[in-house]
Amino acid sequence: MIDLFSDPRTVMTLDAGGTNFVFSAIRGGEEIIEPVRYPSNANDLNICLQSIFAGFDEVYKKLPSKPHAISFAFPGPADYPAGIIGDLGNLPCFRGGIPLGPMLREHFNIPVYINNDGDLFAYGEAIAGFLPLVNKKLREAGSSKQYRNLFGVTLGTGFGGGIVHNGELFIGDNAAGAEIWLMRHKNGQTFVEEGASIRGIRREYALLAAIPFDDSPEPKDIYLIAKGEKEGNQKAAVTAFEKFGQVVGDALANAITLIDGLIVIGGGLAGASEFFLPALVNEMNAPFASLGGKPVNRLEMQVFNLEDEKEFAIFATGKETEIYLPGTQHKLKYDPMKRTGVGLSVLGTSRAVSLGAYAFALFRMNKTK
């Protein structure tokens, strides 16, 4: 694993939103300048690109020495390894393939790395957040179990994902790895993001409360209603989050079947985890039924809620035992409990993305050397 916090190299970064671009620089895993902000001008390509170059130019001038790379998250679809941005929804001026990475590389004469925010979120949590923390807690609990794979998802306006295997970000042959938002919805009629998102929570609350969708509150307000801290239909609010958890859990069960690692959740909706995380884990552990009616475990592994201390204790303990090597007196440790866990972002989504971008740049520069 990369040691972010002792690395002396400087990387310029960008937080690209539909309204504003926020530029900064990181060295040793820490932001080293006051962030620079420019409007995105999402409907005018020339002005938008001018804002991007002006922002990075301003950051460049603030640095005591030449930076080693540029690394940031940008919306897709895109050919991320080539740095070419496709037709974007929230930045409609990007159409037909805009070679943003090569343009920046030509201007600054340093490597430029662009990725999806879901990928960088997962990478940040794998390098400096959730994954090392869980492994540390397992060692402290006396467990020999350690994890190398992480699936990260962000829950908010959309449903993003990222896969990290043994310290390396998995991008895929078409830069389309971990696109969990396009999995089938649990109801079988649409794609999962329709339920695993802000609009999904609002739609479910509206349905349960028998109100028009346009009158449905934002998830933050639905969360307060569920807690009894705001007026509204509390039963509908609680149930809406439980349904949300079931939809997300169904998609995660499908994904983790192929990945076999830990799962970390970030994004704005993660703040309401007390109302959806138990339902999410229960959904992942719920069995299938064979055609003969017998229950069949959905996963080869048991899923634990790592935010629950009692569940984490069982997760850490497992069922480790000792078996004899036949014909000898030698004993081998054996744990028949295959298991994974779901928990919340340790770093916070924004910092995880930022550190993920930094770590990715360091990794690629090391690999190039």
Average pLDDT, the chain: 95
Of the pLDDT bands very low, low, confident and very high (cuts 50, 70, 90), residue 320 is: confident
Residue range 145-175, pLDDT digits in tens:
999 999 999 999 999 999 999 999 999 999 9
For residue 364, pLDDT beyond 90? yes
CA 106, chain centre distance (Å):
31
Give the DSSP H or E segment for 35: none
Comma-separated ranges of CATH 3.30.420.40 domains in the chain: 4-115, 121-346
- pLDDT, tens digit, 9 for 90 and up, residues 123-150: 999 999 999 999 999 999 999 899 999 9
196 pLDDT higher than 80? yes
pLDDT (0 to 100) of residue 1: 64
Q: Are the C-beta atoms of residues 326 and 311 closer than 8 Å to each other?
A: no
CA distance 76 to 182: 14
Write down the CATH superfamily of domain 121-346.
Answer: ATPase, nucleotide binding domain (3.30.420.40)
Return the beta strands (E) in 126-197 as ranges: 149-155, 159-165, 168-170
User: Which pLDDT score is estimated for 100?
Assistant: 97
Instruction: Tell me the C-alpha distance between 242 and 236, whole Å.
Output: 10
Contacts of 321 (CB under 8 A, 6+ apart): 333, 334, 335, 336
Strand partners, 98: 85
% the chain with pLDDT above 70: 100
- Give the integer Cα–Cα distance in Å for 252 and 62: 43
Name residue 85's beta-bridge partners.
Answer: 78, 98
d(CA 32, CA 23): 11
Look up residue 252 and give its two tokens.
């995660």
CA dist 159 and 167 (Å) reads 23
- The C-alpha atoms of residue 351 and residue 339 are separated, in whole angstroms, by 28
CA distance 283 to 251: 10
Tokens 């984490």, residue?
Answer: 312
Q: What's the CATH code, domain 4-115?
A: 3.30.420.40
